[in-house]
Amino acid sequence: MLITKLFQFTNAIRQKQITDKQLLYLWNMVIIPTIEYRVQLTALTQNECSKITSIFRRIFKNKLNLSITAPNAIMENRYIYNFQDLYEVLQQSQISNFYNQLNDRGPILLLTFS
């Protein structure tokens, strides 16, 4: 489901005149939060996250006129592009949600440990 939605999105922007900064904004501020919301109750494996991310990386590298074999570290370097890794974001989100559940004194605490 997520991969299908991402394919539709990437096909829509493939031919658009869009800058690398705009594309990065779409990934970090639109796509990642959307995926994060949709998988709140599902844990994605690192391979599943890699598949999802590779679809968008290919478009990003194409817009930068980079080879597909160019190292991903170029995009993930926080001083260059700061392309967020989906797996790390999802892990951080799940840890934060669990931490909030542990520290909640209301009905969420009862649901968590029942």
CA 57 distance to own-chain centroid: 11
pLDDT of residue 92: 92
pLDDT of residue 110: 66
Torsion 74-76-77-82 (CA) sign: positive
pLDDT of residue 112: 62
Mean pLDDT, consecutive 10-residue stretches, the chain (114 aa), reads 82 87 91 90 89 88 86 84 89 88 72 63
Q: pTM to 2 decimals?
A: 0.77
pLDDT of residue 114: 59
Q: Which domain holds residue 73?
A: 2-112
Number of domains the chain is built from: 1
The token pair that represents 88 in the structure block = 């790390």
